[in-house]
Amino acid sequence: MAEIVGERLERLIEERRLSQSALARMLGISQPSIGRLISGETRESGKLLELARALRTSPEYLVGEVDDPDLVGSLVAFHAEPAPDADIVQLSEFNVAYGLGGSFIHDVPARQVLRTFSRSWVRQFTSAPMEQIFWATSSGTSMMPAILDSDILLIDTTQQSPRMWDQFWAIEMHGLGMIKSLRPAKDGGMRLVSVNPDFRDELAYDGEMTVVGRVVAIVRKV
């Protein structure tokens, strides 16, 4: 089995503005597994094709066989041919619960399930590449009544720069996964705002918080 070049993997993760944890969830593996591939502790992976798809590159580039990271002529492009029904698309759903107050998500392998949806229905919420969006579950009460416990959230990982106060963001901080509104603080930090007034705002500074993506849809039982 071909060996993954850790430096190329690390560079692409940074260029795609992903965190190691977010990439791990997309592949259904643990965050330390990504770290070991980058460090060279592990060089072979049965997830090579999935890894290339998530990073929008080719398997050949990740293993050092070609120098061009573009998808042209790669195995990824070949396997990404549209299904016979062009309106059908599969999205990843992970068993990761994003705490509305905070829940530990590191070091826990995420199980991935592919769910089938109408492409046109998904496009109501985001125009992002399908491999860059995923479903997760909310947990807690700090974002009520906007987001309830056990709501299903569609997260767009191409959106990682907060610009509007009334949007909701999936973030990671100190090993915790959270859903919060984000607002800039006067001292240069970022305020993590809960909708529920019973919960106080928190502050995060450079290097403390990673934005996984924006919550673009909320689905719940009635």
Answer whether residue 48 shows pLDDT above 90.
no
Confidence grade of residue 83 (pLDDT, cut at 50, 70, 90): very low
Per-residue exposure over 122-146, b if at least 16 CB sit within 10 Å of its own CB, e if not: beeebebebbbbbbbebbbbbbbeb
If you write DSSP's letter for every residue of the chain in order, what string do you get? Answer: -PPP-HHHHHHHHHHTT--HHHHHHHHTS-HHHHHHHHHTS----TTHHHHHHHTTS-HHHHTTS-S--S-TTSHHHHHTPPPSSTTEEEEEEEEEEEESS-EE-TTSPPPEEEEEEEHHHHTTT--S-GGGEEEEEEESSTTTTTS-TT-EEEEETT--S---TT--EEEEETTEEEEEEEEE-TTS-EEEE-SSTTS--EEE-TTTEEEEEEEEEEE---
Position with higher pLDDT, 18 vs 94: 18
Domain architecture of the chain: domains with CATH:
6-79 (1.10.260.40), 88-219 (2.10.109.10)
Q: Which of 68, 76, 62 is nearest to 8 (CA)?
A: 62
Amino acid, single-letter form, for residue 110:
A
Range picked from 62-71, 84-93, 185-194 for highest mean pLDDT: 185-194
Q: Which of 47, 56, 1 is nearest to 24 (CA)?
A: 47
Q: Which of 87, 130, 86, 100 is nearest to 218 (CA)?
A: 100
Position with higher pLDDT, 143 vs 56: 143
pLDDT in the model for residue 81:
44
Answer whether residue 159 shows pLDDT above 60.
yes
Work out the number of other CB atoms within 10 angstroms of the CB of residue 117. 15
Position with higher pLDDT, 48 vs 199: 199
pLDDT in the model for residue 175:
76
Spatial contact of 52 and 11, defined as CB atoms under 8 Å apart: no
Q: Which of 148, 142, 152, 150 is nearest to 196 (CA)?
A: 142
